[in-house]
Amino acid sequence: DIQMTQSPSTLSASVGDRVTITCRASQTINSWLAWYQQKPGKAPKLLIYKASSLDSGVPSRFSGSGSGTEFTLTISSLQPDDFATYYCQQYNSYSPVTFGGGTKVEIK
Amino acid sequence: EVQLVQSGAEVKKPGDSLRISCAGSGYSFASYWIAWVRQMPGKGLEWIGIIYPGDSNTRYSPSFQGHVTMSADTSTNTAHLQWNSLKASDTAIYFCARVARGDYFLRYWGQGTLVSVSS
């Protein structure tokens, strides 16, 4: 299986900060990567798919980049509603789907 | 509007059997893969597998193969996840989600079903 390593596991930041989360794949997945946001007690919400495509209705302060094995999710100016846990997911067709371990974004 | 509505929380004992459900509406249920995802208490997301309701084709993650069974009923637009003999380690929230056409990311999610297994 393809292993997805997210870093950091926890991130403390303030409103207005620029935040970057990294996800590394154990082998190339081209651009088959999605990012999700999850708040406590809720289902995950899709933010980004195909590494950099913003899902409909997602604020433009979220952006994704990368290809191959290294990917980033950036929040350009952190808002109060953005404090949550973020997961990456690889969906290369020729391997079981796997998620990263998650990054919790906390209030500094 | 696409909706996935899951069955309610369950409290079971080790060795019990269980089937939880996920009812889809607002789209052609038979034509989209449904995924199941596990989230153990305080932990991350784990991919269980997917089922195509149109022909009940299934693909399991190796970690879950043989431990759970996915099924779907197009007459009721409902997908199911089933255990024959629960273990305490099955305690988790289980989410269903609709797989995007042509890709394997998940845009629409159910609200989750909490399964608690304890003696």
**Nearest 5°: phi and psi at A82?**
-90, -5
pLDDT in the model for residue A103: 98
Average pLDDT, chain B: 97
Average pLDDT over residues B52-78: 96
pLDDT in the model for residue A92: 86
Q: How far apart are the first and last CA of chain A?
A: 35
Query: A100 CB near a chain B CB, below 8 Å?
Result: yes
pLDDT in the model for residue A77: 97
- For residue A77, give how far its alpha carbon lies from the nearest alpha carbon of chain B (Å): 24
Q: Does residue B73 or residue A1 have the better pLDDT?
A: B73
Query: B64 CB near a chain A CB, below 8 Å?
Result: no
Query: B97 CB near a chain A CB, below 8 Å?
Result: yes
pLDDT in the model for residue B55: 95
pLDDT in the model for residue A81: 96
**A29, A89, A97, best to mutate vs chain B, most B CBs in 10 Å:** A97
pLDDT of A93 higher than 80:
no
Q: Count of CB atoms within 10 A of residue A67's CB?
A: 15
**Contact call for B95 and A44, based on CB within 8 A:** yes
| CA distances in angstroms from B62 to A95, B36, B69, listed in the order given | 11, 14, 13
Size of interface A-B (CB pairs under 8 A): 54
Binned at pLDDT 50, 70 and 90, residue B61 comes out as very high
Q: Which residue of A has its CA nearest to B35?
A: A97
CA atoms within 13 A on the CB side of A61: 13
Closest alpha carbon to B44 in A42, A22, A67, A100 = A100
Query: B62 CB near a chain A CB, below 8 Å?
Result: yes
Closest alpha carbon to A43 in B48, B107, B65, B101 = B107
Binned at pLDDT 50, 70 and 90, residue A67 comes out as very high
DSSP 8-state secondary structure symbol assigned to residue B100:
P
pLDDT of A94 higher than 70:
no
pLDDT of A89 higher than 80:
yes
Q: Which residue among B46, B100, B109 places its CB closest to the CB of A99?
A: B46
**Contact call for A87 and B44, based on CB within 8 A:** yes
Tokens representing B91 are 């305690």
pLDDT of A95 higher than 80:
no
Q: Which residue of B has its CA nearest to A53?
A: B105
Element at A4 (helix H, strand E) = strand A4-7
Sheet with A19-25, side-by-side order of all strands: A4-7, A19-25, A70-75, A62-67
Distance CA A70, CA A84 (A): 22
Per-residue pLDDT tens for B12-41? 999 999 999 999 999 999 999 999 999 999
